[in-house]
Amino acid sequence: MSELVEKIAVCIERGKVNQAASYPQELKGQEGADELAKNALAAGEAPDTILQGCVLGMQRIGEKFSQNKVFVPDLLMAAKAMNAAMAHLKPYFKSGVVKRRGQFVVGTVAGDLHDIGKNLVAMVVEGGGWEVIDLGVDVPTEKFVETVAAHPGCVVGLSALLTTTMVNMEKTVSEIKMKFPSTRILIGGAPVTQAYASKIDADGYSPDPQGAVNLLSQAAA
């Protein structure tokens, strides 16, 4: 692993956005993810190296989050640092120089307005090198189906926080599978279980964001 990859990974894991940021205290005054990415690209470093650091940093913080060693504010700061670095990679994504690992369509199912869990998953997945298409909350089945049609080969993530809305996952899974049988669908949320995922023929379940990234990695293999 190169020194640059490790430096970017540390900044993202610790939520060090830029040099001006005072958080975390022990990295105060040091370059953050923003400067490291910008200066490395200006010096001719490969964009893939920057992405590698982003992926590693988000993987580390995601694993700590799943182990309850860090909490939502830590994950949000890590995502902020990741976004600062990734902003410098956008031109390379658009030109095709840097390849995404795939497309991930995510949304909270119809009737459910909760988005914190979905947003955390989206941030960690993006940090894992995927293009995220976030449909927001209260997403009708038809919208998921239309989006899958517009993004062939994508993986779909369905979120629900209420037992009264998680039942809508079954309809969405059924409709997507009927029209696009090969589409992989992951589900998650407080009331959701692996048993429920199996019952409605979803392809995977994760209780936390890093688990979703791991499932996506399996889907892309």
Radius of gyration of the chain (CA): 18
Task: Name the residue among 199, 14, 15, 204 with its Cα closest to residue 104.
Answer: 204
* Token pair in block for residue 16: 């060090």
Q: How far is CA 60 from CA 20, 53, 57, 83, in A?
A: 24, 11, 5, 16
Whether the pLDDT of residue 129 is over 90: the answer is yes
Q: What CATH superfamily classification does 103-220 receive? A: Cobalamin-binding domain (3.40.50.280)
Whether the pLDDT of residue 148 is over 80: the answer is yes
Whether the pLDDT of residue 1 is over 70: the answer is no
Average pLDDT of the residues in 191-218: 95
The domain defined by 3-95 folds into 1.10.1240
pLDDT at position 139: 98
Of 142 and 218, the structure prediction assigns the larger pLDDT to 142
Residue 175: CB partners within 8 Å, gap ≥ 6? 141, 142, 144, 145
Give the whole-angstrom CA distance, residue 136 versus residue 131: 15
Whether the pLDDT of residue 204 is over 70: the answer is yes
Mean pLDDT of all residues belonging to the chain:
95
Whether the pLDDT of residue 118 is over 80: the answer is yes
User: Under a CB-based contact definition with an 8 Å cutoff, are residues 1 and 7 in contact?
Assistant: no
Task: Name the residue among 52, 59, 119, 116 with its Cα closest to residue 86.
Answer: 52
Residue 185: CB partners within 8 Å, gap ≥ 6? 155, 156, 157, 158, 173, 176, 177, 202, 203, 204
Give the whole-angstrom CA distance, residue 45 versus residue 25: 28
pLDDT tens sequence across 29-81: 999 999 999 999 999 999 999 999 999 999 999 999 999 999 999 999 999 99
Residues of the chain with CATH 3.40.50.280: 103-220
* Token pair in block for residue 173: 């899974």
> Over pLDDT 70: what percentage of the chain?
99
Residues of the chain with CATH 1.10.1240.10: 3-95
pLDDT tens sequence across 171-199: 999 999 999 999 999 999 999 999 999 99
